[in-house]
Amino acid sequence: MIALRIRNAEPEDTSLILEFIRGLAEYERLLHEMVADEALLRHHLFGAKPMAEVILAEWEGKPAGFALFFHNFSTFLGRPGIYLEDLFVLPGMRGRGIGKALLVHLAGLARERGCGRLEWSVLDWNEPSIGFYKKLGAVAKEEWSIFRVTGEALSRLADGNA
């Protein structure tokens, strides 16, 4: 029997996906920012117009980790890409190659779908993850900064009042 299985998430996995997101939020010290719930996830992941995809890792039939991703587009490459929003492996399942297997799976999807790149962000204090990503050949794009508009600022901008 193969110990590790990676599969596409289904609507009945929504509560598990939410648990993984909560675990990631705790690890990243951002649980206070988490407002996602099952209804929102079900709508945006499995509704009429899915906005993202999820793959799940199972170790010996037990949930072990997940990756949530969506397509973006590189105008410079003229091709789509995959943006990895979340990658998380349960603490008790780490060290078994599950995170790498999830990234290998995503790289395969990127190649299969004709994507020009696979990219993600990592918190600058997360040295274990940064080292892990670099060992896989990932390169930090340190000349770029992430900008984000949320909450009231997003509402003001949408109203033209920024």
SS3 state at 77: coil
Q: Exactly one of 133, 142, 152, 158 is catalytic; which is it?
A: 133
Active site residue 83: no
Rounded CA-CA distance 62/5 in Å is 10
- DSSP E strand stretches across 41-78: 53-59, 62-74
Question: Which residues are within 8 A (CB) of 22 and not within 5 positions of it... i.e. 6 or more apart?
Answer: 31, 34
Positions marked catalytic: 133
